[in-house]
Chains A and B, each alone.
Chain A
Amino acid sequence: MEAYLIAIAIVSAVYVLLALGLTLQYGMTGIINFGHVGFFAVGAYAAALLAEQGWHPLPAFLAAGVLAAAAAWPLGMVSLRLREDYFAIVSLGFSEVVRLVVTSEKWLTKGVQGIPGIPKLFTGLGVGLPNSLAVLAVLLLVNGLAIYAMRRIVRSPFGRMIEAIRDNEDAVKALGKDPARFKVQVLMLGALLAGFAGAFYAHYIGYISPDQFVPLVTFQIWMAIIMGGVGRVSGALAGTLILMLFLEGSRFLRDVLPFISEVEMASVRLGIVGLALILFTLYRPGGIMGEARRT
């Protein structure tokens, strides 16, 4: 049981990292990023390929984050001057481009065959509970650092600027500031977090292939931050936990309701998540953590 809970906690923590990045981008700056999974994929592949080359995880993880952030730079430069809904489409396209490149560049990524046997972290501590706990601890630490950094950002002049961009971009321009520059920076910061998340994911699951980086992942993160409360760090946390509770908790629902078969349960699970999303938008548009946007 413990190992299963730890497994859920690890996957949740990876999702929280992704949700934090999106909170920074959408919740705080108002960038509609539908291509978050693209940066996640860059991080995952970078970490996996560097691990294959025998890199130590520490520099490999840093490289994964930096590469993901670097991938965000040109995207931001070319498209952030677009109005926000156009950027949503461009970013969705970007994540598909990443997936297709990964699929096609077989010499590097092994294409659709995927990369198997990515080493687990901290195996020196012993396989099973000890190394999973260590992975979880490091993930929590990284999450903690990210949350701390985000709180600092919110209170800094930079934070006030990005919130101003979210609330009224034209007013910011009228004040003589260049919103595009800030938006690119935010996009890169969010991508950095997604890159780290990807590196942890690759090392934890141990096998990555292009079909794990489909837009569905992006939208699960969106579900999480919408349910949790857009624009709040606590919302990203709460939303991810609710999402995991729905997805994983429904496995246990069947132990209590034995007359529902697994086939039916799969449909029930999707139905419950959908229903919850509708109820949230109807009755709690600000998410669990309440009043999200001061608009």
Chain B
Amino acid sequence: MTLSRRSTLQALAAASLTSTFGGRAFAQAESFRIGALNPVTGAGAPYGSGMQKMIVAAAEMVNAAGGAGGRKFEVFSEDTQTTPQAAVLAAKKLIEVNKVQAVLGTWASGVSLAVIPLANDAGILHMHTSGAPALSVPPANAKGLGYRYQATNDRFGRAFAEICQKEGYKRPATMAFNNASGIGNTEGFKKAWEAKGGKVLEAVVYEPNQPSYRAELQKVLAAKPDVIVTGSYLADTTIILREWFQSGETTKWIIPAWAANPDLVKAVGNEVSEGLIAVDSISNEGSEAFKAYDAAYRKVMNQDGLSNVYAAMTWDMVVTLALAMEAAGPGANIAAINAKIREVANPAGTKVSTFAEGKEALKKGKINYEGASSVLDFDQYGDVTPDFSVSFVSKGKIERKYVVKI
């Protein structure tokens, strides 16, 4: 693509003319504009660029298959810097200047909460990967234009409670990293556990970036729990487990898998990690959709697709959007497309795993897209309920034992 100054000026002039006289000019345009708004820098940086590249890759795949509903995708990429303020300005630019019709892939809850009102005002779709429960309901999701591809923190908590019950623990305590996600996990657990008639003995919240968590650990262990449920990250979990092991206690641990991963086992050693329980929402990894995503991810990022669950979610965002557009037919507006999203993703219909397959199957009847990140069935709030895998660490290996459905 070459751009001379003249053509840029012409384009600018044309754009300002159409916005002055023609109102929104994209109604008849043959492209559908999507904004890839991802955490390329900041706390989300380990995931952001992969998420963004998968949006581009999925859009190219849809375009190569002839477009969706007669339209081709055009992707505009922006960085949220994982801060609400930068995200708001970036979203304003995408919506006002690039005139995107959907914003895809915001990551942190704070960012999504700040961006979703803008999407509501503009009447466009917003698909995100944030855990905060507030995103499901009004005012955030007042118009039903928001879709969440990640399990809510609440659902993680419910999964933890199921596991506790199944493993026969009676006296749980919790430890949480002090942010929305960490606390969301343990409070979700507390709610679910108390609904089962149990009692949480102690709930400790700790500040991040400490060299030692001994004081917090002592407080938890003083309550003599038989299991400790955490909402934690890798760095702090490593320190906590080492200090716990030194204390000689025999408590069990239930830890989300983004903290209890092979790196943790390597860091603390086989002896300390023996018997840890790691819980994760399942990327739909056996599925055909996951294979397609994995191939694309390896090609662009040169890494295993499993290393970035959020990239699988952004891949699914583009595919569900494309299938909904295909189902809604040529020239459909946002409301018509929005109305089709659950129809193409939820059960009752032929199961499909790629856009091309879905496009074919739509000619014959209803479809049900089974995604790369989960089976992707949206409830009335636009939330998905993935299954959770329960893995035990044994001799330095993390082995999946069973699957919990909530």
Q: Could you write out 17 A-B pairs with CB less than 8 Å apart?
A: A4-B93, A7-B92, A11-B85, A112-B178, A112-B183, A113-B132, A114-B113, A116-B134, A128-B121, A205-B114, A207-B113, A209-B84, A261-B77, A262-B40, A263-B53, A265-B79, A266-B79
- Which residues of A from 117 to 171 have beta carbons under 8 Å from B? 117, 127-128
Q: Is B307 an interface residue (CB 8 A)?
A: no
Q: Indicate whether B173 reaches chain A with its CB closer than 8 angstroms.
A: no
Q: Report chain B residues within 8 Å CB of A117.
A: 139-140
Q: Are A205 and B139 in contact (CB under 8 A)?
A: no
Q: How far is the CB of A246 from chain B (nearest CB, A)?
A: 13
A28 to B114, CA, bound (A): 36
Given A4-B97, A209-B84, are A266 and B110 also a contact pair (CB < 8 Å)? no
Residue of A nearest to B48 (CB): A263
- Is A3 an interface residue, CB under 8 A from the partner? yes
Is B88 located at the chain interface by the 8 A CB criterion? yes
Cα distance, A4 to B85, chains bound together (Å): 13
Cβ-neighbour of A207 out of B8, B110, B121 (below 8 A): B110
Query: How far, in Å, is B374 (CB) from chain A's closest CB?
Result: 25
Tell me if B83 is interfacial: C-beta within 8 Å of chain A: yes
Q: Using an 8 Å CB-CB cutoff, how does the interface string of B1-29 with A read, 1 for contact, 0 for none?
A: 10100001000000110010000000000
Asked, given contacts A7-B88, A103-B178, A207-B113, whether A1 binds B96 with beta carbons under 8 Å apart, the answer is yes
Q: Smallest CB–CB gap between B52 and chain A, Å?
A: 6
Can you name the residue of chain B whose Cβ is closest to the Cβ of A7?
B92
Separation of A206 and B117 alpha carbons in the complex (Å): 8
Q: How far is the CB of A227 from chain B (nearest CB, A)?
A: 19
Main secondary structure of the interface of B (DSSP, over half): helix
Contacts of A209 in B (CB 8 A): 84, 110, 180
For residue A178, CB closer than 8 A to chain B, the reply is no
Q: Are B179 and A112 in contact (CB under 8 A)?
A: yes
Quick one: CB contact mask for B120-142 with A, threshold 8 Å, 1 for yes? 01000000000010100001100
B89: CB under 8 A from chain A?
yes
Whether B183 and A113, one on each chain, are in contact in the complex, defined by CB atoms closer than 8 angstroms, is: yes
Cβ 8 A contact of A251, one of B8, B93, B110: B93
Contact at A211–B110, with CB atoms within 8 Å? yes
Tell me whether A52 is interfacial, beta carbon within 8 Å. Answer: no
Which residues of A lie under 8 Å from residue B271 when comparing CB positions? none
Residue B41, interface by CB 8 Å: yes
Give 1 or 0 for each of B60-103: 1 = CB within 8 Å of chain A CB.
00000000000000000111010111101110110111000000
Q: Which of A1, A112, A127 has the most CB of B within 10 A?
A: A112
In angstroms, Cα B90 to Cα A212, docked, is 16
Q: Does A248 sit at the interface, judged by CB under 8 A?
A: yes
Interface centre among B1, B41, B207, by most chain A C-beta atoms within 10 angstroms, is B41
* Residues of chain A with a CB closer than 8 A to B48's CB: 263
User: Cβ of A116 and Cβ of B113 under 8 Å apart?
Assistant: yes
Tell me the smallest distance from the CB of B23 to a CB of chain A, in Å: 13
B287 close to chain A: CB less than 8 A:
no
Q: Which residues of B contact A211 (CB under 8 A)?
A: 83, 110, 179
In the complex, are the beta carbons of B89 and A248 less than 8 A apart? yes
Contact of A266 among B81, B85, B88, B140 (CB under 8 A): B81
